[in-house]
Amino acid sequence: MAIGVGLVGYGGQFAMGKHHADNVRKTDGLVLKGVFDVDPARRDAAKTEQPDVVVYDTFEALLDSADIELVVLITPHDTHAPLSIAASNAGKHVLTEKVMCLNVAECDAMIAAAKKTGKCLSVYQNRRLDGDYLTVKKQIESGTLGNLFSIESSVNGYWFPAGWRGVKKSGGGMLYDWGAHLTDQLVQLMLPARPVSVYANFHYGGHDVDVETQTTVSIRFDNGVMAQIDVGCVSWLTRPRWLVRGEKAAVLMPDWETCTLRGMLNGSEQQMSIPVEASAWERFYPALSAHLNDGAPLPVDPTEVRIALSVIDAAFESGRTGRSVEIAP
């Protein structure tokens, strides 16, 4: 029997509701059964685009349905924790969009609720399947770069943070948005090494919003690597997407499609272009289905996402105090 999926949130921005619906429909072992959104206009859109599923008038009605076994949260960041806990308490598996939640305390409560009912909790960290990240990961894991000492990762540009992404109380801002992806990617690249300290700078301005519009976060890991993420929506010129440096070689990605490797390669100093891996977002839902139906490994472990959230917590504290913040083991 395929697992029934209910989408909570069918917002039009970036068409993420439809994105999740389409991916569920493509996945063996999952079947889209229901949708809920707080906005009646978005419920009407769901009825038009998903005519064969139940569109619920309330979140509680979706949770009460025996047809819904997996709840997917595609809602503003500040709602993830309470909605996830409610779904877990109702005996549902939960997949939440990133950022998983607003802090480590919320994360711990979400994990505890899922554990209590014996249900799955995972996070849609789809940027682990971006081609640029997979390219950098491949080069690091190959050993070509030698002993790593520095990783810089940036997503910048000039755009207006529309909708709730520009509202502080909704969990908007650059660190919870792109920063959640880049921090998660760094953690994945460094595991089993752990972050030990964080120093962050925040800029507010350039757009009429009450969230930070530029954030630079420096992270020291216990293996000696110094990493930095730089995210913002007020930059007319940008940093490279990636600069990863090791003692033998370095990788530079000035954008998402171009990669250069330079260093001591095969006994001589060389510089060459490296093919960029294809993105593979389509692998996420089949991996989740395999976990739920066949006991395969969870595609995103919430305890690893917790590490990234500890960095985000420390970054906000550093921004408030102007000091480096230690992260407890």
Q: What is the pLDDT of residues 214-252, one digit of tens each?
A: 999 999 999 999 999 999 999 999 999 999 999 999 999
Are 139 and 247 within one domain?
A: yes
Are 161 and 265 within one domain?
A: yes
Distances in whole angstroms, Cα of residue 3 to Cα of each of 149, 218, 275, 288: 44, 41, 38, 11
Total domain count, the chain: 2
C-alpha angle with apex 79: 78 to 82, nearest 5 degrees? Answer: 120
Are 116 and 179 within one domain?
A: no
Given 100, 124, 148, which residue is the final one in a domain?
124
Q: Which residues contact 66 (CB under 8 A, 6 or more apart)?
A: none
pTM comes to 0.95
Q: What is the pLDDT of residues 287-324, one digit of tens each?
A: 999 999 999 999 999 999 999 999 999 999 999 999 99
Residue numbers of the chain with a pLDDT score lower than 50: none
- Looking at the domain assignment, is residue 203 inside a domain? yes
Burial of 98 (0-12, 13-18, 19+ CB in 10 A): buried
Are 161 and 95 within one domain?
A: no
